[in-house]
Each structure stands twice: as structure tokens, then as C-alpha cells.
Copies of this chain bind each other. A is one copy, B any other.
């Protein structure tokens, strides 16, 4: 049997999404064989993240400063506010480099199954932020899942009388997507939203 130190590391790693016990064990061996080039940099990277990263009190992004770089960037448009479920969604949207406004991270989605209600998300803070003025358009950029869309409609209702325009992301065929591999729902949405050339 391998030692308790190894088993503890295997357990810690196998708690990560995407790594089962078997691949965690393989990862540990990989780390052990190349300590200076893999294990020690990983340790340092974890420590840097643990000590330096903090949640932005304004938008919920995770960054080295609070408020975060996005909230303090003077080139961004205060009038545009994108609402996303999670920090991962914020990063994904920002990687697309098209959106130039600010963000608001909900911290999840409404889910009856998981017992997540409006009070578990930062919906009240969002409404307060919008009502405080300065925002003219709120882009509801929830995931195109059942729960994401439920959350979207709930928030749209809450913002109904806030005097801002509310938009959502377009549904359709993803770039590079093949119709044959898409579900009927997506094809129907793409057809409904078809554009005349």
C-alpha cells in the first residue's frame, strides 16, 4: 500500500471536478516524478491564489483587488451591465472580448431541486445596483438551461419597473456547430430567430 501522505493527496485531488480516484493517482505519480517542474509550481500557484485572490464586493468577480479590475476599468461602459450565473461565466464572456460593460455575478441559479431560492443569490444586490442609477441596459446572460432560463425570467420580473432595457443572449446554432449533432430545441430556436440576408 502507498503511504498516508500519498493517499491524502490522491483524495484531495480526486475531489476536483473531472478527476476520479484513478486519474488522481496517476496525477500524483506525475507530480512525484517531476517535483521541481510540477509539484512545487503547483504548490506555489495554489498559495498565490489562496493568499491574493479575493471576491469583488461590487460584482462578485474573483480578483486580486476589491473592487476588481473590471469594476475599476475606466474604459468600460457603466451603462451596460451583464448578469451571469457564475465567475466562470464572467471569464468566458470576457474571453469573447466583445462585451465592454460591467458584470454582476449571481453566485448560482434558482433551483428548486437543490433548494436554491432568490435569497441564496445576489438578486437583491443586483436590483439595488440597477435602481441606484447609471445603468441603461441589463444583459441577462444566464446559461441556456432550464434553471438558467428560470432564473433569467425571475430577474427580468424583478427589474420590470426599474426603467432599464433588459436583453438576453441569442439562442441558435453555435459557431462550428453541425445541425446533425444539435438537439431539436436549438434548431427550432435558430429557425425562429432566422435572419433575412
A residues sitting closer than 8 Å to B (CB atoms) are: 1-3, 5-6, 8-9, 11-13, 15-19, 23, 25-32, 35, 38-43, 45-50, 52-53, 62-64, 69, 86-88, 91, 94-95
Contacts and interface: CB of A to CB of B under 8 A. Distances in A.
Contacts of A16: 13, 19, 27, 30-31, 38
B64 A49 contact: no
B46 A31 contact: yes
A25 B9 CA distance: 19
28 contacts: A2-B63, A5-B48, A5-B52, A5-B64, A8-B48, A9-B45, A12-B41, A12-B42, A13-B16, A15-B38, A16-B19, A16-B27, A16-B30, A16-B31, A17-B23, A18-B18, A18-B23, A18-B27, A25-B91, A26-B88, A29-B87, A31-B49, A32-B49, A32-B62, A39-B49, A43-B47, A43-B50, A46-B46
Contacts of A40: 50
B53 A32 contact: yes
Contacts of A53: 3, 5-6, 32
Contacts of A15: 38
A1 to B, nearest CB: 6
A69 B1 CA distance: 9
A31 B32 CA distance: 21
The listed residue with most B CB atoms (<10 A of its CB), out of A5, A15, A17, A62, is A5
Contact of A19 (B1, B18, B28): B18
A27 to B, nearest CB: 4
A5 B45 contact: yes
A94 B27 CA distance: 19
The listed residue with most B CB atoms (<10 A of its CB), out of A2, A15, A38, is A2
